[in-house]
Chain A
Amino acid sequence: MNSTEQLLSINNLHTGFRIKDTYFDAVDGVSISLKRNEILAVVGESGCGKSTLATSIIGLHDHNKTRVEGEIIYKGINLAKLDEEKFNKIRGEEIGMIFQDPLSALNPLMRIGDQIEEGLAFHTKMSKEQREKRVFELLDQVGISNPKRIAKQFPHQLSGGMRQRVIIAIAISCKPNIIIADEPTTALDVTIQAQILDLLKDLQAETGAGIVLITHDLGVVAEVADRVAVMYAGQIIEEASVEELFANPLHPYTRSLFNSIPQMNSENEKLQVIQGIVPSLTNLPRTGCRFSARIPWISEGMHEENPTMHEVSPGHLVRCTCWQHFHFESEEGGITR
């Protein structure tokens, strides 16, 4: 197994939703790759297109209302253009997805055990007995303390975090090559979160899987990611190794994001907010630096006309040039780092 082997390569991906006969791209020209054994974290403002990116990779869009263009290359084939029948074989078996919204990803009328078993029956040659055993094993691995009882229950009888863990069990059940984890631990307490992250890492050590980890929790990113992509308004605006990004965040959005972390000792202070409103899909600025409206104290001339990604140090890419002139509003002008 070659650890630098490219698993997934996304080139100029556009995914748009149809709103009143016009398509609006929620993912607007994303290029990124995933290597074997790698954890790529994707962070970004709510609504910036992270889940849309994830569902594009796994081909789960309402095709009547969604347009996917560009390349998602996996094993030499373009998933963006793959027909449904072939995709069914890959989905679940080679690419597993942990959905952000567990309740709507589970069938409300089907017992938990049966839902986990379903994928095993479709993708493996396991006997009924082996499958049952595997279901209990998976539930145990995701920290569910009484697997036999839970397997017989329905989704609404589980807590939010238990449902999330069932989705994780389903996603890893066939030991896929790629795991797309969309906010996999938001509903989990920190001890179980640590257990789940360890589980994903163990699985990775065993199979060499690549993991795309979408999360708002920068603590989680710091604990497990190898590389981080920061998204804003449908585009990647910064990309770097985790050590580099946390030590030296450059893009104004990335810096503002770090600036919003509640400090452990700040009970009575106001938390830092990025001014302005997250643009909605239909009124998202499509030209110029998309973040400029949120930092109006940085003059227009500081932004690139057509911002592109610049490699500022090996492996560290930043969109636009405005980072060179950025300072927080409360600070004096000029470069502050």
Chain B
Amino acid sequence: MSFMQINDLKVYYPIRGGFFNTVVDQVTAVDGISLEFEKGKAYGLVGESGCGKSTTGKSIIGLEKITSGSIVYEGQNVTHNRRGRGSSYNRDIQMIFQDAHSSLNPRKRVQDIIAEPIRNFLNLSPDEEKRRINELLAIVGMNEDAKLKYPHEFSGGQKQRIGIARAIACNPKLIIADEPVSALDLSVQAQVLNFMKDIQQEFGLSYLFISHDLGVVKHMCDHISIMYKGRFVESGNRQDIYTNPQHIYTKRLLSAIPDVNPVGREERKKERIEVEANYTANHKNYYDENGKVFDLKKLSTTHFVAMSAHEKGGI
């Protein structure tokens, strides 16, 4: 049973302009997506840059206005009450931000940044708080001497780890992890991913894992949704997505994964160009006349693909 459901979520950003700074247009960042979260499961969100992944995450935790759709958490409709004071939703749903640098207050020391959620949501004595901060730093592989420093004194990957420590500080139920490891080297990445899996198993934590790294997503996620222009083009389990992809965009993504082997890179480039050409040629079968992604159709109990009714008949 899922503990949280997102139904037909839409988020539009108004674009202002003109002399009176009135709304002249809008960006349909998220255009009707639905998701369900089960305890202890990891959900991957992958897609083109600018397709609406971060907006999805930020609207779930309540940092963006929802245009339409609903979020139901433990049976309660929280759509319009996501940032309510003292609500458990606020504590239980945490986010690791894509832009580590600007999500850290430049005037606060690391210890105060990490302590912020602890002070908001837990009643710890100063000693306990100190211990918890040390523990969190150790988890993300940082020295204790980091505590007294300011964000600008850290490298890109170190800042990302501070954001991770903050997100996990209060044992949340769902972590929205927006590119949590893209700034990290492989060893620290491995350490963070191992840790994320450990706490997932230990506390039954769930993840919405946003990433461009299809290898990492495959390693981490039980269920994966592929997003394009604000909508899902395909969703399914690992098997469905990686060994039986149906949507042309999914296939295009998978073919563009760089291979960790310099031998044969010219041939791979040729293959990529072929897939690209194929994509352009068959575009109309997968998108409507306005370029919008079709609604998802069920292929199996786990596998959903966006295609026209006509295409579905063909399978």
Which residues of A line the B interface, CB within 8 A? 17, 43-47, 51, 100-101, 103-104, 143-144, 149, 152-153, 157-162, 164-165, 183, 186-194, 198, 216-220, 222-225, 242-243, 246, 256-257, 260-264, 266-267, 270-274, 277-280, 282-283
Q: Mark B152-193, 1 if CB is under 8 A from A, else 0.
A: 011111100000000000000000000100111111111101
Tell me whether B260 and A261 are in contact (CB under 8 A).
yes
> In the assembled complex, which residues on chain B have CB atoms less than 8 Å from the CB atom of A101?
99, 101, 156
Which residues of B line the A interface, CB within 8 A? 13, 15, 17, 25, 46-50, 53-55, 98-99, 101-102, 141-143, 145-146, 153-158, 179, 182-191, 193-194, 212-216, 218-219, 238, 252-253, 256-263, 265, 268-269, 272
Task: Give Cα A205 to B142, complex, Å.
Answer: 42
* Min C-beta distance of B121 to chain A, whole Å: 27
Q: State which of B49, B154, B158, B218 has its C-beta within 8 Å of the C-beta of A192.
A: B49
Q: State which of B17, B25, B182, B265 has its C-beta within 8 Å of the C-beta of A186.
A: B182
Task: Give Cα A139 to B211, complex, Å.
Answer: 23
Tell me whether B262 and A187 are in contact (CB under 8 A).
no
* Min C-beta distance of B232 to chain A, whole Å: 15
Residue of A nearest to B254 (CB): A190
A45-B187, A162-B50, A272-B190 as given contacts; A190 in contact with B141, CB under 8 Å: no
Q: State which of B157, B189, B257 has its C-beta within 8 Å of the C-beta of A47.
A: B157
Q: List 6 A-B contacts (CB under 8 A).
A: A160-B98, A186-B182, A264-B218, A266-B219, A271-B191, A280-B143
A103-B102, A160-B54, A162-B49 as given contacts; A271 in contact with B260, CB under 8 Å: no
**3 closest A-B pairs by CB:** A161-B49, A46-B157, A219-B258
Residue of B nearest to A267 (CB): B219
Q: State which of A152, A189, A198, A243 has its C-beta within 8 Å of the C-beta of B253.
A: A189
Task: Give Cα A198 to B146, complex, Å.
Answer: 39
Task: Give Cα A280 to B48, complex, Å.
Answer: 36
Tell me whether A46 and B156 are in contact (CB under 8 A).
yes
A266-B219, A267-B218 as given contacts; A194 in contact with B272, CB under 8 Å: yes
Task: Give Cα A188 to B53, complex, Å.
Answer: 12
Tell me whether A189 and B49 are in contact (CB under 8 A).
yes
- Given pairs A261-B260, A279-B143, 14 additional interface contacts (CB within 8 A): A51-B155, A103-B99, A159-B49, A186-B212, A187-B182, A187-B212, A216-B185, A225-B262, A264-B218, A270-B194, A271-B190, A271-B193, A273-B191, A283-B143
> In the assembled complex, which residues on chain B have CB atoms less than 8 Å from the CB atom of A17?
153
> In the assembled complex, which residues on chain A have CB atoms less than 8 Å from the CB atom of B143?
277, 279-280, 283
Tell me whether A223 and B191 are in contact (CB under 8 A).
no
* Min C-beta distance of A265 to chain B, whole Å: 8
Q: State which of A47, A144, A160, A283 has its C-beta within 8 Å of the C-beta of B155.
A: A47
> In the assembled complex, which residues on chain B have CB atoms less than 8 Å from the CB atom of A262?
190, 193, 215-216, 218-219
Tell me whether B212 and A261 are in contact (CB under 8 A).
no
> In the assembled complex, which residues on chain B have CB atoms less than 8 Å from the CB atom of A280?
143, 145-146
Q: State which of B146, B185, B265, B272 has its C-beta within 8 Å of the C-beta of A222.
A: B265
Tell me whether B186 and A260 are in contact (CB under 8 A).
yes
* Min C-beta distance of B23 to chain A, whole Å: 13
